[in-house]
Structure 1
Amino acid sequence: MERDSHSDEEIRDILCLKHVVVIGMSKHEEKAAHYVPKYLLDQGFDIIPVNPTTDQILGKKCFSTISQISQDIDIVDVFRPSEFVLSLVEEIIKKNPKVIWLQEGIHNIQAEKLAQDNGIKVVFNRCMLAEHQRLF
């Protein structure tokens, strides 16, 4: 799977944004959907978990859906299979984040276009942890 065409400078600028909603965040330590946001939290990012199956992850209140979140959102980091991304983006765009970040192995062309048509940058098939370690 190819990845987006953002330059290192653009990715670095995106990673300077600090308010991150993590859709599909896991309470299981061995899963990337847990250790990637934990790394980001340890690096000073404000993490807001979205997972309808639990109340709290890493001491943070967990929301069932992104629509329940009232804070401003810089980045929505998505840990859900590609086939769910379009319906997620339809919900995400209502919150007007600056960036939607689709983790490694995740991409949906229709969702990407919908987000971009609504003025939202899309990063896909990249890991926030790996990119942060590579660029900082």
Structure 2
Amino acid sequence: MEFSNPPDSEIRSILANPATVAVVGCSDNPARDSLRIAKLLKRRGFKVIPVNPQLGADALKGELGETCYPDLASIPEPVQMVDVFRRSEFVPEVAEQAIAKGAKILWCQLDVIHPAAARRAQEAGLTVVMDRCPAIEYARLF
């Protein structure tokens, strides 16, 4: 079965209803898309929790106001959306963590594509958006 993204109405609803989002692969480098998108989501009302095992807990406190965690399981609160800024080969692992965390949405950024992991997440009840960027979708849908 080929993967297809949810309809625009569902993507618009995701972006219009701020929730807690874990940004997996969030960088502390201001030039990186992951940090720019994390800041955009924060400006749009989302609570943004950075996830990056290479960074210390306080690495993004100044930028995002939240503790950085090494993985989804370490986050001590519920997460509604997982935004993935990792290479496609890491999506299955992130999808399994998102399922275990009880997330409702798995969002994979531009060029982050893994149909088998998407199917697994969908079978577990998650809405999956793949190969899309929230900034582009905001501009397109609002």
Give ranges in structure 1 of 5+ residues lacking alignment. Answer: none
RMSD: 1.6
The alpha-carbon deviation at position 71 of structure 1 amounts to 1.3
Q: TM-score, normalised by structure 2?
A: 0.89
Q: Distance between the aligned counterparts of 2:94 and 2:80, measured in 1?
A: 16
Which consecutive aligned stretches of 4+ in structure 1 deviate over 6 angstroms post-superposition? none
The reply to whether residue 123 of structure 1 matches residue 129 of structure 2 is yes
The alpha-carbon deviation at position 100 of structure 1 amounts to 0.2
Match of 2:12 in 1: 12
User: What is the aligned residue count?
Assistant: 135
Q: TM-score, normalised by structure 1?
A: 0.92
1:22 alignment partner, SS class = strand
Match of 1:33 in 2: 34
Tell me if the contact between 1:67 and 1:95 (Cα under 8 Å) persists in the aligned partners. Answer: yes
Tell me if the contact between 1:52 and 1:63 (Cα under 8 Å) persists in the aligned partners. Answer: yes
Percent sequence identity over matched residues?
A: 37
Q: Distance between the aligned counterparts of 1:128 and 1:33, measured in 2?
A: 11
Correspondence list, 1:8-87, <5 A: 8-15=8-15, 16-55=17-56, 56-57=59-60, 58=63, 59-87=65-93
